[in-house]
Amino acid sequence: MTASAKPGAAAPLAHDPRAVATAEVLIEALPYIRAFAGRTIVVKFGGNAMTDDALAQSFAADIVLLHSVGIRVVVVHGGGPQIGELLGRLGKESEFRDGLRVTDAETLDVARMVLVGKVNRDIVASINVHGPIAVGLSGEDGGLITANLRDPELGFVGDVADVNPALVESLLAEHLVPVVSTIGADVHGQSYNINADTVAGALAGALGAEKVIYLTDVPGILRDVDDPASLIGSTTPSHIAELEASGVLSGGMIPKVRACLEAIDAGVPAVHMLDGRVPHVVLLELLTTAGVGTMITQDGGA
């Protein structure tokens, strides 16, 4: 016994470095949890994260954790790869124009089956493994998404004409997680397939969401597409306009960024573009000091 030890006192336990690191992470997350508790965050789920089982499970766990600490989470999803796969199995070739799938009546039926009947149910089930909190919706339910025809040459591809968030708000008030597939309908009941990025931004605006998060297959906005270290951590619409004018933004990055800007235009204070291929990327961006993607805020915003 050392001179400083009290008689009969147990020897101090050796600290597990992993446990200490976990505690430090929780302490780091605490101010962000406090800041976002009671706020609404819309997460657009897509890309490789949707087709990789391990990433899909990681995503579901992230959503459950955010919900558990009081954050109101809404998930919006597409399902382009799954639609293309089923069309291929049916012997129907997909045609794209400007990145949008030409959608005839048969393709629309397949899209509804895949988005509403398969992908939506899979996401709901993966979340509900952790507890009965997720509820699946289509944009057709309760007049959630009213659509307009985008271009007759694209067939039944729609744009968002109006959002009625009442059904989603009711579910959030019941402490549930709405999971929304992006089929909408016009005033005559005609269904349309709508780009999930567009729906996420429009719904976030209608809900008065604090943030909308886009999970993509890129790390975020890069100054050099071949250099991950050139990631732009935060930016604004005016800066993005400069990047596009200078040629920094090109190709497939342009529609991704424009979807983010549409969300900003809809009144969302902050939009995040993250790499959905990174496990727990949503938590890393929202609940850590460093963050891992690109955040776009309104000009003059924080």
- Among all residues, which ones are annotated catalytic? 44, 47, 80, 197, 256
Q: Write the Ramachandran bin of 8: left for phi over 0, alpha for psi from -120 to 50, otherwise beta.
A: left
Sign (positive/negative) of CA torsion 69, 138, 128, 276? negative
Q: CB–CB of 210/167 below 8 Å?
A: no
Q: DSSP state, 253?
A: H
CA–CA distances in Å: residue 234 to residues 81, 89, 95, 129, 270: 30, 42, 35, 35, 10
Strands ordered across the beta sheet of 294-297: 134-138, 177-181, 72-77, 40-45, 211-216, 270-275, 294-297, 234-235
200: left (phi over 0), alpha (psi -120 to 50) or beta: alpha
Distance in angstroms (rounded) separating the CA atoms of residues 282 and 115: 23
How far apart are alpha carbons 73 and 76 in whole angstroms? 10
The pair of three-digit structure tokens given for residue 156, joined into one six-digit string: 């039944």
Residue type, 96: F
